[in-house]
Chain A
Amino acid sequence: MPEIDITDEQAALLVQNGDKDKFGLLMDRYKARLFRYGRKFLANEDNIDDVVQDVFIKAYQNIRSFDVSQKFSPWIYRIAHNTYINAIKKISRGPIYTFDFDTIVSHPVYEDPLIKETEEVEMKKMVEKGLGTLSPNYREIVILYYTEELSYKEIADILRIPIGTVGIRLKRAKEALKKGFLEESARKEEERESTREIEKVGRESGERKK
């Protein structure tokens, strides 16, 4: 079977049965994604190479715990999530996440494909600009949804939280991003306005001198 036709799950099964080379295929498919996820999530981490390498080593060591009847991507992202959290813990003194009250009760979930499509372009722009302003738990969920394009269900499995919590956390992150984006736009508009004012005053005083 050509490698391109092999699904992630089939490749994982072959690795479980001893075909070590097929792990290279899985790494090929996930290295760029895990790098991107790591870079955005661990914004202040210098040794991103070591951390991503650690993810793949852990994935290989634990691959026999993967249930091939399930999807492979949430499984490897879960390993990445844990490894990145540990990396953040090493460099930060305080706790990474405090208790999440959104996990206590259920929240209704509705992914509207139409809204998702129209919002996506706008949100991706905001994500690029405002990601750094979000707290880690909001930042991660935004990366997984908008950058890695994973579903609510997959994100719930990666973060081990109820699906409704994914929805409510994403909603709050979007609101925070939009608020930040609007504030930034207003600040820029004010700056432009004051520049125009200065230029106008300059022109007028120049004309008077003439």
Chain B
Amino acid sequence: MNNNKTQQNTIEKNVLEKIQSGEVKMRSKTYFVLKVALLVIVALLVLVTSALLVSFMIFSLRVSGRLFLLGFGERGLMAFFVTFPWFILIADILFVILFERLLNHFKFAYRTPLVYTIGASALIIILAGFGLDRISFHETLFQEAAEHHLGPVGGLYTDIRLPPRQEGVFRGIVTSVATNISAMPPGWPAYNMGTSSMVSTNSAGPFINAFTMRRYDEDVDTDSATDTAMTWYVILPTGVSVAGFVKPGDVVLVAGDVLAASGTASGTVGGNSNGTSTGSGTIRAYGIREISAGDEQ
């Protein structure tokens, strides 16, 4: 017991000596105020970055037309999940966790169960993300990127409307319509008329309904040949008639899988290329949506 008291007294004496000699000094009030201010600023930056990511995710889903896939049952849902920007979502979840960890320095946060602080943080970020999407923040940046004003960052925006490689949503302007054809036109990849579920039959034999479209993006210069050189042959599902449904000049979104393609699709920005794609391919469609009607009849 006495040994304990001696130990304690020695510590007290040592600490007081260090204080009196100036070896140990009090930190100023300003230091702590700045520390809290820095914490608040970092938390706000994390919040804003996270909200930007959410709004970009919403914007990219909307602009690329991937949201439209949700209306096409299991196939559409699968394609939606495959083409979903998971990387952004994961990055955003990490930002939510970081935001919650920063908030945890404050009494109101650490006294609240984790499920509520994480939930509230996620809700704030999602609402801020929707808010940013509503004020056309990304629309403006998208235009800037299309005009090559954003440098390397612009690639994030111009890549949004690049046609997918295998499955997803393809945006295009209808160039010609072919009804009840029994063979692919010359120059297009062959299509097996015998086995596909896209093939209908009448007295004249198996036939398909199809149309051709070229890549369409209203935000890029449509006069540029390289921007719109990708041409697709779209084969429609059995029972879907092209006549009266799509006509040349219509801008459409096509949900489908690529059967065959040639050419390139690149998203380089900052140089000469701006999300260009060239070549041709065949898409087996399971969903079509008209975005705007063309003038041609």
Contact = CB atoms under 8 A, between A and B. Distances in A.
Instruction: Answer yes or no: do A and B interact.
Output: yes
Interface of A: 15-16, 20, 23-24, 27-28, 31-32, 35, 49, 52-53, 56-57, 60-65, 103-106, 156-157, 160-165
A57 B28 contact: no
> Which 9 interchain pairs have the tightest Cβ spacing?
A160-B110, A65-B32, A31-B8, A106-B113, A104-B114, A56-B15, A53-B11, A27-B12, A64-B29
Contact of A60 (B14, B19, B110): B19
Contact of B27 (A61, A106, A160, A163): A61
B32 A160 contact: no
B115 A64 contact: no
Contacts of B31: 64
A105 B119 CA distance: 11
Contacts of B32: 62, 64-65
Interface size range on B against A: 20 to 34
Contacts of A106: 113, 115-116
Contacts of B176: none
A103 B112 CA distance: 8
A32 B18 contact: no
Max chain B C-beta neighbours (<10 A), residue from A24, A31, A105, A165: A31
B83 interface: no
A63 to B, nearest CB: 6
A31 B8 CA distance: 6
B24 interface: yes
Interface of B is mostly: helix
Interface of A is mostly: helix
A60 B12 contact: no
B113 A164 contact: yes
A64 B11 contact: no
Contacts, number: 79
A103 B114 contact: yes
A23 B111 contact: no
Given A35-B7, A35-B8, A49-B7, A60 B114 contact: no
Given A20-B19, A61-B24, A49 B10 contact: yes
Given A35-B7, A64-B29, A57 B110 contact: no
Given A32-B8, A62-B27, A23 B19 contact: yes
A163 B10 CA distance: 36
A60 B113 contact: no
B93 to A, nearest CB: 16
Max chain A C-beta neighbours (<10 A), residue from B10, B107, B110: B110
Interface string B108-131: 001111111000000000000000
A28 B5 CA distance: 11
A63 B26 contact: yes
Contacts of A35: 4, 7-8
Contact of A20 (B8, B20, B104, B113): B20
B16 interface: yes
Contacts of A160: 104, 110
Nearest to A53: B11
A60 B15 contact: yes
A160 B110 CA distance: 5
Nearest to B27: A61
5 contacts: A23-B16, A49-B7, A49-B11, A62-B32, A104-B114
A2 to B, nearest CB: 20
Contacts of B11: 27, 31, 49, 52-53, 56
Max chain A C-beta neighbours (<10 A), residue from B10, B15, B29, B116: B15
A162 B4 contact: no
B107 A157 contact: yes
Nearest to B112: A162
Nearest to A153: B111
Contacts of B15: 23, 27, 53, 56-57, 60
Given A63-B26, A64-B28, A104-B114, 7 more contacts: A16-B26, A64-B32, A104-B115, A105-B115, A106-B113, A156-B111, A162-B110
A107 to B, nearest CB: 8
